A and B are shown apart, each in its own frame.
Chain A
Amino acid sequence: MTSIEAWALVFTVLTFSLYIFIAFRTRVKDTEGFYVAGHGVPAVANGAAIAADWMSAASFISMAGLISFLGFDGAIYLLGWTGGYVLLALLLAPYLRKFGKYTVPDFVGDRYSETARAVAVVAAVFVSFTYVAGQMAGVGIVFSRFIGVSITVGVIIGMCVVVIYAVMGGMKGITWTQVAQYTVLIIAYMIPAWAIAARLTDVPVPQVSFGEIATKLDQLQVDFGLNSYTEPFTNRPIQDVFFVALALMVGTAGLPHIIVRFYTTPSVRAARYSAGWALLFIALLYTTAPAVAVFAKTNLLEDVANQPWSERPQWVRNWEATGLMAFEDGNGNGTVDSITSNPEAAPGELVVSPDIMVLANPEIAGLPAPVVGLVAAGGLAAALSTASGLLLVIGSSIGHDLYYKRFRPEATEKQRLMAGRIAIAGAVLVAGYFGVNPPGFVGQVVAFAFGLAAASFFPIIVLGIFWKRTNAAGAMSGMLTGLTLTALYMWATLYGGMEPWFGISPEGIGAIGSVINFAVTIVVSNMTTPPSDEIQLLIEEVRHPRLGGEAIRLPEERVSEKA
């Protein structure tokens, strides 16, 4: 075992013990604790939990690398995966918190109809499963790369840990574990970034100092025959950058595992603030990632571009051994003449996996082995925290929306809690299976989950709150039209050989699907009967922090209500 593997193992064991300890301290006995953490999570803690829930293995490991190969156009991820929180905070979070039920299908079902609830359950489960398979695969990859066990063993270890804290503590256990996981992942991301900033520039704050390096990188890229790094729209046309950013933002605001986190705060006010804290915590990583991208790309070009391959530095040799970098001397001159991250789209002599940009950072900066071990723990924290949030959505969709609401409304509290626990445990098994045997389409589907969420949930939830006239017929037609058109366009451009219309890629089509959903919902609602008085009253109550009973309720009061 190398010293890096030993340190990675130490940090993994330490952090996993912490997660299980937290789970033991936060175990729950009722469904309210299991599904919404008893509405008792303070705003700042909920913010950290949302941030951990949100930032997946992809954000932690892959995003900076993707940006470094996209240059300016990498902004689609940076804008798209942050701007949605403004929509969430202003348009959804406070009202859904006032609504106060357990899941997104709950709102859709109570506001519209039982059929709409069923459609929402299917959509929530589908989106969450495609997403969670990627997280489990991420856990396996981190384990195999840093600790040297096989991917299968890695996935099984990850599954065991998630089962322990999700089944025991439900939303409460998940929340407090996520707070710990956020702390681990942000420290693991920041230390190498600050160290590299200090090494490359006079200012150790990456957010400030990467401008200087970016300008230098522009020149390096041009000299090497690539596009200038900071020049916009070299990889994607301007309208595509626009629509992809919009689809990701609207999709963020429609993802069930993020929305349910706002149900856990003690009050409407706390829901508003927790959105702010969440984005602040996310922004710490998301403003660092573009700096990491610039630093890593600069290091890569300076170390290998136009250099003889035989004189490559040690860190390149180390990562070459993992198969994440591969050199094929196309013209036989022994030097690196071109670099690519996606050999299918753009051939190049040196093929580099985008994941290296974050994983190799500590080595490039010459940081000691413990820091590399910490990065492994950070990657695991990012993957596990997102996985547990998604598994809870699947568990609550099946245990609450399907079992209790649809089939067994007479179930006792105890049976409902047991159903929730079994549903989560089952979901972990399925997710683990897909983690070990990922279906080929998962990678793509995750990117498109946003488009589908944007085209289905977001418009009907927003209209359901802001426009009382919205009725079940409108919402159903809007949701189905938006989903169908979006999915058809994605399928046609990806597999059907259709040329994208107006340069809009399949990732961006969700934005259009969302607009269509809005339009259809409005038109059909206007043509059919208005919703009942009860539903209109429900909307009034949702809009008003105190009308029809306050959101704040203490456990003592809930007990007396039940009695």
Chain B
Amino acid sequence: MADASNGQSGRVSGSRVSDRSRGYWKANVRVKVPLLIVWAIFGYVLAILLAEPLNEINFIGFPLGFWFAQQGAIVVFVALIFIYAKRMDRVDEEFDVHEEELGSARKRVERLGGQA
């Protein structure tokens, strides 16, 4: 789905958008896809589609399918978002597009103010 349009809309992508920011966007999508697959596996395959067979297995006192559907999947969802945010921090650094922290932005403004 990502940028199937690059061929046709090359005018903009070609002229104004550097290869570097196109590389950044690709890296961005590469971070997401595996996380979305894990999301689907826990949220739909384990918690719903395979719930009946998994319920035969006992996990810390729960039937496993029931545990996935009412506890496990939620815990995995939380973890996925933090993993995503962490990985994107690394991608942002790598492509040098990371943002300033609010504190350092404030210092910069103060410095500018001091000079003026």
The residues of A that contact B82 with a CB separation of less than 8 Å are: 273, 276
In the bound complex, CA of A232 to CA of B47 (Å): 10
Interface residue tally on B, bucketed by range: 35 or more
| A533 engages B12 (CB within 8 Å) | yes
B80 touches A86 (CB 8 A): yes
Quick one: which of B79-116 are within 8 Å of A by CB? 80-82, 84-85, 88-89, 92, 97-100, 102, 105-106, 109, 113
The chain A residue sitting closest to B5, CB to CB, is A469
Give the residues in chain B near A545, CB-CB below 8 Å.
Answer: 92, 97-99
Given that A72-B66, A211-B60, A275-B81 are known contacts, is A283 also in contact with B4, CB under 8 Å in the complex?
A: no
Interface locus among A132-140, A261-269, A365-373, A444-452: A261-269
Considering the complex, give the chain B residue whose CB is closest to the CB of A540: B17
B85 and A467: CB pair below 8 A? no
* B contact face: mostly helix, strand, loop, or mixed: helix
Q: Are A74 and B85 in contact (CB under 8 A)?
A: no
Determine whether the beta carbon of A211 is less than 8 Å from that of B5: no
Taking CB atoms, residues of chain B closer than 8 Å to A149 are none
List the B side residues contacting A273 at CB < 8 Å: 82, 85
Distance in angstroms from A272 CB to nearest chain B CB is 4
- Roughly how many angstroms separate A19 CA and B82 CA in the complex, as a whole number? 30
Are A232 and B85 touching (Cβ within 8 A)? no
Interface string of A222-239 (1 = CB under 8 A from B): 000000001111000010
**Cβ contact within 8 Å between A75 and B4:** no
Chain B residue nearest to A539 (CB atoms) is: B12
Asked if residues B77 and A78 are in contact (CB atoms below 8 Å), the reply is no
B residues neighboring A (CB under 8 Å): 1-6, 8-9, 11-13, 16-17, 21, 24-25, 28, 32, 35-36, 39, 43-44, 47-49, 51-52, 55, 59-63, 65-67, 69-71, 73-75, 77-78, 80-82, 84-85, 88-89, 92, 97-100, 102, 105-106, 109, 113
Leading 6 A-B pairs by shortest Cβ distance: A211-B61, A211-B62, A75-B69, A469-B5, A276-B81, A272-B85
Given contacts A83-B73, A245-B44, A286-B74, 18 further A-B contacts (CB under 8 A): A72-B69, A82-B74, A83-B43, A89-B85, A230-B62, A268-B99, A269-B88, A269-B89, A269-B99, A272-B85, A287-B71, A466-B1, A467-B2, A536-B9, A540-B16, A547-B21, A554-B102, A557-B109
